[in-house]
């Protein structure tokens, strides 16, 4: 079986869908998970959450690296990893606050030129710093996959606006090299994939990879009545791209108030960016559940 080399960059610990995306990648048989990097406030606790999920299914050897806990030029809105309160007695590694993620990303991508799919599902700080400090890196990827942006509605999306300057770098609004394939799953599409809390509790019951995730989810359900599967959709489409339909064009990032961090999409058949335009919701959920139950 041909496997895809994947690195996950995540802000696990705020919204629960990051934990579900990690669980999916751990169970996807075609995924060779080279490592996980964490980003934004309390990045070290976010790394502990990743470690707990990996250790729970005997995958404690997956490299996990703490990333940047602040934005490039603005104050971050996401200062705490609330779900880390549910770590409890789950077996996990502990991490210092030092940023080792960017160097791990650089070294791993350079060691596997043209082979790595980098999927970023949090604020773009780690990716933006990587591209800014090693401008050849984007061209050395196989694909850059993002859960980021809003392309058919007007407004700001959480990952994009948390570090707008890093988002601009990530989308190539500078002179660095471009990824061979640059695919985004915006909130205008991902928000269609929703289950209410009761359905999540029922569907997640008895699935081994989700044991710690269920604990994290209860923290999430204290303030939310449902889960929107933003990040798992992006992860699943690495291996099942036809779950979604796509449009090609160019994405620009606003760097001015009051639209700081907003994504602006212009359709163009020769553009450098691919954005999801539609999703087959039943097929996504079937794919997701069948994979994590393996």
Identify the band that residue 17 occupies on the pLDDT scale cut at 50, 70 and 90.
very high
What average pLDDT does range 86-111 have in this prediction?
97
Q: Any alpha helices (H) in 64-186, and if so which ranges?
A: 101-111, 125-133, 137-140, 158-162, 164-170
Which band of pLDDT confidence, cut at 50, 70 and 90, is reported for residue 45? very high
Q: Does the structure show a pLDDT above 70 at 174?
A: no
φ, ψ at 164 (rounded to 5°): -60, -35
- Centre a 10 Å sphere on the Cβ of residue 105 and count the other Cβ atoms it contains: 26
What architecture does CATH give domain 4-292? Alpha-Beta Complex (3.90)
Span 183-187, mean pLDDT? Answer: 98
For residue 153, pLDDT over 80 is answered with yes
Q: Where are the domains of the chain?
A: 4-292
Average of pLDDT values for 226-241? 98
pTM of the predicted protein model: 0.97
Average pLDDT, the chain: 96
Condensed to tens digits (0 to 9), the pLDDT of residues 246-274 reads: 999 999 999 999 999 999 999 999 999 99
Mean pLDDT of 90-96: 96
Radius of gyration, alpha carbons of the chain: 17
Tell me the C-alpha to C-alpha distance, in Å, between residue 270 and each of 249, 250, 266: 7, 9, 11
Contacts of 290 (CB under 8 A, 6+ apart): none
User: How far apart, in whole angstroms, are the C-alpha atoms of residue 161 and residue 149?
Assistant: 9
Residue 256 tokens, joined: 């001015």
Tens digits of residue pLDDT in 187-227 = 999 999 999 999 999 999 999 999 999 999 999 999 999 99
The pLDDT value given to residue 175? 64
Lowest mean pLDDT among 1-5, 12-16, 65-69, 119-123: 1-5
pLDDT for 1 equals 78
* Distance, CA of 185 to CA of 69 (rounded, Å): 24
Average pLDDT estimate for 3-27: 98
């Amino acid at each position: 079986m041909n496997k895809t080399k994947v690195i996950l960059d995540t802000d696990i610990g705020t919204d629960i869908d990051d934990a579900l995306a990690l669980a999916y990648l751990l169970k996807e048989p075609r995924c060779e998970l080279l490592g996980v990097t964490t980003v934004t406030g309390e990045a070290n606790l976010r790394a502990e959450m990743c470690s707990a999920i990996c250790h729970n299914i005997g995958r404690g050897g997956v490299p996990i690296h703490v990333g940047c806990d602040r934005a490039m030029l603005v104050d971050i809105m996401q200062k705490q990893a609330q779900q880390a309160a549910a770590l409890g007695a789950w077996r996990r590694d502990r991490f210092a606050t030092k940023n080792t993620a960017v160097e791990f990303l650089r070294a791993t991508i350079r060691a596997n030129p043209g082979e790595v799919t980098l999927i970023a599902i949090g604020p773009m700080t780690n990716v933006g710093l990587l591209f800014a400090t090693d401008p050849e890196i984007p061209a050395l990827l196989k694909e850059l996959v993002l859960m980021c942006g809003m392309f058919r509605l007007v407004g700001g999306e959480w990952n994009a606006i948390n570090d707008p300057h890093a988002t601009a770098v990530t989308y190539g609004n500078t002179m660095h090299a471009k990824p061979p394939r640059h695919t985004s799953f915006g909130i205008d599409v991902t928000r269609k994939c929703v289950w209410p809390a009761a359905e999540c509790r029922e569907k997640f019951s008895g699935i081994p990879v989700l044991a710690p995730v269920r604990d994290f989810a209860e923290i999430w359900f204290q303030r939310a009545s449902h889960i929107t599967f933003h990040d798992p959709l992006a992860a699943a489409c690495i291996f099942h791209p036809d779950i979604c339909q796509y449009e090609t064009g160019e994405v620009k990032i606003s760097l001015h108030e009051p639209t700081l961090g907003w994504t602006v999409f212009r359709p163009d058949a020769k553009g450098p960016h691919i954005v999801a335009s539609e999703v087959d919701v039943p097929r996504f959920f079937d794919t997701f559940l069948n994979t994590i139950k393996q």
